[in-house]
Amino acid sequence: MQSEKQAQWVRGYCEAVGDLLTHEKVQQMRRYPHHKPVDTLYHSVYVSFLTYRICTAMHWRAREATRAALLHDFYLYNWYVDKHEEGHAWYHPKEAVKNAEHYFGPLTPMQRDMILSHMWPLHLMPPRSREGMALTFADKVGAVRDFLRLSKRFEPVYTCIETEMKRYARPADPC
Ligand SMILES: [Fe+2]
Ligand SMILES: [Fe+2]
25-63 per-position pLDDT tens digit: 999 999 998 887 789 999 999 999 999 999 999 999 999
- CATH value at residue 89: 1.10.3210
Residues 6+ apart with CB under 8 A from 80: 33
Work out the average pLDDT over 94-115: 97
What was the pLDDT predicted at 141? 96
Q: Indicate if the pLDDT at residue 134 is higher than 80.
A: yes
Report the percent of the chain where pLDDT is more than 70.
Answer: 95
Which ligand has its closest atom nearest to the C-alpha of 93?
Answer: 1
* In-domain check, residue 116: yes
* In-domain check, residue 171: no
Residues 6+ apart with CB under 8 A from 131: 51, 55, 60, 61, 64, 65, 68, 110, 114
Which ligand has its closest atom nearest to the C-alpha of 97?
Answer: 1
Q: How far apart are CA 65 and CA 45, in angstroms?
A: 13
State the distance from the centre of ligand 1 to the C-alpha of 28, rounded, in angstroms: 16
Q: How far apart are CA 77 and CA 94, in angstroms?
A: 13
141-155 per-position pLDDT tens digit: 999 998 888 888 999
Amino acid at 5: K
What was the pLDDT predicted at 87? 86
- Surrounding ion ligand 1 within 5 Å at CB are 73
Domain total of the chain = 1
Give the HSE-up count for residue 143: Cα atoms under 13 Å, Cβ half-sphere. Answer: 9
- Whose CA is closest to 74, among 38, 123, 21? 21
* In-domain check, residue 143: yes
- Residue 21 neighbours by CB distance under 10 Å: 24
* In-domain check, residue 170: no
* In-domain check, residue 168: no
On whether the pTM is more than 0.75, the answer is: yes
- For residue 49, the enclosing domain spans 4-163
Residues 6+ apart with CB under 8 A from 21: 14, 27, 45, 70, 161, 165, 168
State the distance from the centre of ligand 1 to the C-alpha of 163, rounded, in angstroms: 26
